[in-house]
Amino acid sequence: MIALGTAFTIVLSEALLDPLPAAIDLRVPVAAHLEESGVSHPVTAVLLNYRGYDTLLEIAVLLLALLAILAVVGETRIASPSRAHPVLQALARLATPSIIVMAVYLLWAGAFRPGGAFQAAALLAAAAVLLHLVGLLPGWSTPRLRLRLGLVAGFAVFLTVAAALLRQGALLKYPPEAAGGLILLIESALTLSLALILAGLFLILSRDEDAS
């Protein structure tokens, strides 16, 4: 087994160090149609315009993962989180507004430079986890109505826009004059939902430990 593992590691390392050329180079066509995408950053254009249906399915997978955890874990008693040192709590309170500001910036910047909904949501989820670890945010019980609406908002807005654009003859084919606004709408809703989903994957699983 050791020899087999070593051989696999060597083959994998060679593949990573000397990758095969891409079968299709999409950089040129993406750059040629970037202005029509509604954004000026090629990654955002690919994720939410040219291959928007892939991103739609990724959101669905994350949401299904959280729902599966809720179905398996069920409803348990939520105890108050253990309190950390007051200094740590004060630092967490000071750090959280800065994290939120950075998340808003990443959401806004995603249209023309690296950033976007996934990065912004990861920061917001990290803020929630930080507050939980210092005892300022309890673990989550079964989501109530408002939390459920927040969890599905991103996917619902994305799906609604996709359905409305089917009249264009293709899924998520944005009209050039409205592409920027629609992408911003989708990314804003995705930021909220992804942040809640990512935070929920931690806070729901942590509730058993809190309650023990």
Sign of torsion over alpha carbons 41, 43, 48, 49: positive
Distance CA(109)–CA(12), nearest Å, equals 35
pLDDT in tens, 53-67: 788 888 999 999 888
- The whole-number average pLDDT for the span 179-191 is 89
Place of tokens 């309890």: 138
The end-to-end CA distance of the chain, in Å, is 40
Rg of the Cα atoms in the chain: 21
pLDDT > 70 fraction of the chain, expressed in percent and rounded: 87
What is d(CA 19, CA 25) in angstroms, rounded to the nearest whole number?
14
What pLDDT, on the 0 to 100 scale, is given for residue 175?
A: 83
Which pLDDT belongs to residue 77? 53
Instruction: Name which residue leads in pLDDT, 163 or 84.
Output: 163
Cα 16-22-26 angle, rounded to 5 deg? 130
Mention every residue, 6+ apart, whose C-beta is less than 8 A from residue 88: 134
pLDDT of residue 210: 46
Is the pLDDT at 207 greater than 80? The verdict is no
For 55, the token pair is: 């991103």
Angle made by CA atoms 206, 207, 211, in degrees to the nearest 5: 125
- For residue 108, pLDDT over 80 is answered with yes
Instruction: Judge contact between 205 and 71, C-beta under 8 A.
Output: no
Confidence at residue 146, expressed as pLDDT on a 0 to 100 scale:
87
